Structure 1
């Protein structure tokens, strides 16, 4: 029986976890659209991968880009599964709340929270009109810091906590739909990404947790992006309650 085509939209595919997830999905047979400001050297030119240049901090442009992308997707009658992975996020500013300027707050929230909100909104809107879809899934990449406070990380912790609540709210809204979107938050654990490098490179006087990040790196506690991507794909194949937080590595908690 023809199971149809699986298509994924992934943000932040230029490097790190987003790049690794896109590669994992391509290997599994998905057609992948990668939304990021720059191209990945690993993904460029690969069959079934389409790079979509996009600044997630620009909500107006992002809405137009995703609406145009869905015009293309909706023309493909073979698609039976559609997946959105909101991976892109900002770590900085890493400093006390009284040292953060309004412009820094705005850029952080536009990238890490407003963009995922907007993409979720358009995904739910557009997929409602695609009758052939048998599986509709949203994954919002979160963090353990959504549940734990940390000095000099008010923006990051708050944004991830809000993303978890967004996930739960969408699940509530979709619960009684005939063909619902299933939505999950995904906690990748500590992974060896550019964000970790930035955190380790900060001055301890400005960022009290610098030592924790440095020690975790030196003790080999960081997972590779490829390990995280493999864990995410495994979780996608399993059955979970919509609205829940899926953790890549439960034993790391």
Structure 2
């Protein structure tokens, strides 16, 4: 039986680490991202999409599911990894358009993707999971990260809500929310390049880089794969890569 992964933001950073881990484990992968990764295996089908244009997501998932045979599928996972910090600054300094686009990518696209995914495979008898990539910022406020913190907190609650809505389904979809930790990606570089006036705890993140304390995307990808495999994890769980 085939194992299938659909992932957003799979072309770089944490997403690329996840893709490599799942590919090694034999998954058929459909990667949705704003950019095309020329360096990945030809076995990965890539869709270059701007997920802030949420009206296009339903058709995109319809196209992907047309290629997947439920009779030959033993496991299917959706990982909502795409996300952005947006502009790092106090809320009063943010432009309305930046707020709108950050919410669209971090939250609205995830809501729509989860809804379409569940509807598309609800009747399938195989193992089904949604993994929403969260953040420690979902639980802890950071000066200058108001929109990011709010959207990641909403992602955690979404995972819990999907869990209770799926409880009585004959073939339930499990939902997990996973914070990957502080990972050595382009997002961390963006954080370190911000000003202390807009992000007061910047020194901590600079020190993490200087002290080689950032996690590697490959490690995070493998850890998320292991959580996906762990059938003892309860739907609606809020987890963290250790």
TM-score range, shorter chain: over 0.9
Of 144, 167, 173, the match for 2:165: 173
Aligned to 2:43: 48
Q: Superposition pairs for residues 38-187 of structure 1, below 5 Å?
A: 38-43=35-40, 46-73=41-68, 75=69, 77-130=71-124, 133-187=125-179
Aligned to 1:245: 238
Q: Which moved more, 1:150-159 or 1:207-216?
A: 207-216
Q: Secondary structure at the match of 1:90?
A: coil
* Residues 89 and 144, structure 2, Cα contact 8 Å, conserved in 1: yes
Moved over 6 A (4+): none
TM-score scaled to structure 1, two decimals? Answer: 0.92
Structure 2 runs not aligned, ≥5 long: none
Q: Secondary structure at the match of 2:39?
A: coil
What per-residue deviation string (whole Å, max 9, x for no partner) do you get for residues 208-241 of structure 1?
A: 1211110111112100000101111111221201
1:31 aligns with 2:25: no
Aligned to 2:13: 16
The separation in 2 between residues aligned to 1:78 and 1:56, in whole angstroms, is 29
The separation in 2 between residues aligned to 1:206 and 1:38, in whole angstroms, is 28
Aligned pairs, number: 241
Structure 1 runs not aligned, ≥5 long: none
Q: CA offset at residue 48 of structure 1?
A: 2.7
Greater length-normalized contact order (CA 8 Å, ≥ 6 residues apart): 2
Q: Which moved more, 1:79-88 or 1:47-56?
A: 47-56
CA RMSD of aligned residues (A): 1.2
* Residues 123 and 171, structure 2, Cα contact 8 Å, conserved in 1: no
The separation in 2 between residues aligned to 1:175 and 1:76, in whole angstroms, is 21
* Residues 89 and 112, structure 1, Cα contact 8 Å, conserved in 2: yes
